[in-house]
Structure 1
Amino acid sequence: MIKITNARKQYSDNVKIGPLDIEIPKAGFTSLIGPNGAGKSTTLLMIGRLLNMDEGQIEIANMDITSTKSKDLAKIITILRQENHFVTRLTVRQLAGFGRFPYSNGRLTDEDEEIISKYIDFLDLTDLEDRYLDELSGGQRQRAYVAMVLCQETEYVLLDEPLNNLDIARSVQMMEYLRHVADDLGRTVLTVMHDINFAAKYSDRICAMKDGQIAAFGTVKEIMEPRLLTSIFETDIKIIQGPYGPISIY
């Protein structure tokens, strides 16, 4: 479980996040949604300890992230940011290997190599594993980054806008992979999502944010309500029942 208690981050007198209080259950797929500037990415980065809180406490699997050693935390939680600045002359396999650093300290063992191969296969990257990142399409590169994250083999996987710069087809493909991560690998997946319909189709739970606060948290059915979404996004949103679940229409 991820437990956030009275977490706050203040950037200025007019821009602040929190106080945040929420418990995100273990396992399954949870999406953070909300308008731009709602605090979604800031919240994710605080959970991943890539951004310090000004106040409050965050616990992951009963471990306080502020006092837990980095090497121990890296075996529980991993995070993929929007901006990735790896050297493009890395191959897919070399990039994935970075996920084993908490265990290998850069000296890959046979066991590490087996784990790397496992996730390269899982994400259908086997034919691309020796290709350089700058030789890949945006969707292929994004899958390579996710492979790196999965190679860390943490129980909690955090992803900041994993569909960034992907077209519709590649977005569907990525969400299918991430759904399998939750279902087949038993991981707890937490993502920041811009597209409400993708969040509704693939999530077990949705946390809706607005103005640096948690506006609502619940199942997809509970959150995909016209009045609630209209109040959060401040635009008229209607919900229809599609063949795979609720769909929002602006």
Structure 2
Amino acid sequence: MESAKNNPLIFDNIKKLYGRRTVLDDVSGAIAPKAITSLIGPNGAGKSTLLGILSRLLQQDGGRVSFYDWDIKDYGSNELAKKLSILRQANNLDLKLTIRDLVSFGRFPYCKGRLSELDWKKVDEAIAFSDLQDIQDQFVDELSGGQRQRAFIAMIIAQDTDYILLDEPLNNLDMKHSVQVMKTLRRLVEDLGKTVVLVIHEINFAAQFSDYIIALKEGRICYNDCTDAVIASPILKDIFGIEFDIIERHNKKICNYFNL
């Protein structure tokens, strides 16, 4: 197993069953720090399940997740929440909250709801980082899908963890808002030194914004490498079962799979 000095988040021989169905089958790997790692693969490949296990939202049936040399199960909830944050697909709120109220929830592991001057400073910095200052007093339930997703990401930014895990953060977003979200995640890595792991379906967003890609298929990791190595026609065909034509523009790869 790799040292936590190089890879603080390591998963080893992870197995997950749903009834008699094996969703993850002895999956092992490590998450590169201070980078964006995208989990890709067909529906049912185990991407969201692996992300859930890495965040401790799900309990594996075998194997171990090591986080800074500790078994992740040994962390207290509050202690873990200061090091690792997770944004799930469904974020439903029954409360009438402004964006600023929502973002302040990210400080809960530190202040238990009694925000100090430092906590509010972190809230304001997260709102500014997400370019939400002009609408911070609007209610979350009145926002567009893209604004709402950016507000939830701002909450995660305010939580100020080294590791940020997101399950399909582009789900139901249009192209413009998807680009805004991915640019924000890119800046989290480049400007703040965060480590971002996300489940993503649109292969071109993975190709344009990721540093590394972990590809799953039928509950196993079939590829785990830098983005440039994975974004190749034969590899993508093996993962998804369709033909790809890879076009290179400005040192980036674009995946054409519509006209083949």
TM-score by length of 2: 0.94
Q: Give the CA deviation at 1:129.
A: 1.0
Q: Give the CA deviation at 1:88.
A: 4.9
Which residue type is aligned with residue 52 of structure 1?
A: Q
Say whether the 8 Å CA contact 2:41–2:201 is kept in structure 1. yes
Change (3 A) 1:166 1:88: farther
Change (3 A) 1:137 1:244: farther
Which residue type is aligned with residue 199 of structure 1?
A: A
- How do 1:1-250 and structure 2 match up within 5 A? 1-243=8-250, 245-250=252-257
Alpha-carbon RMSD across the aligned residues, in angstroms, is: 1.1
Which residue type is aligned with residue 59 of structure 2?
A: N
Secondary structure at 1:209 match in 2: strand
Deviates more, 1:126-135 or 1:115-124: 126-135
- Residue by residue over 1:104-146, the C-alpha shift from the partner in whole angstroms, topping out at 9 and shown as x without a partner, is 0011111100000000011011111111011111110000000
> Paired residues, what number?
250
State the distance in 1 between where 2:23 and 2:121 align: 44
Say whether the 8 Å CA contact 1:201–1:244 is kept in structure 2. no
Secondary structure at 1:83 match in 2: coil
Say whether the 8 Å CA contact 1:88–1:133 is kept in structure 2. no
Change (3 A) 1:137 1:88: farther
Secondary structure at 2:89 match in 1: coil
Say whether the 8 Å CA contact 2:23–2:45 is kept in structure 1. no
Say whether the 8 Å CA contact 1:88–1:132 is kept in structure 2. no
Which residue type is aligned with residue 69 of structure 1?
A: G
Unaligned stretches of 5+ residues in structure 2: 1-7
Runs of 4+ in structure 1 over 2 Å off: 12-16
Which residue type is aligned with residue 70 of structure 1?
A: S
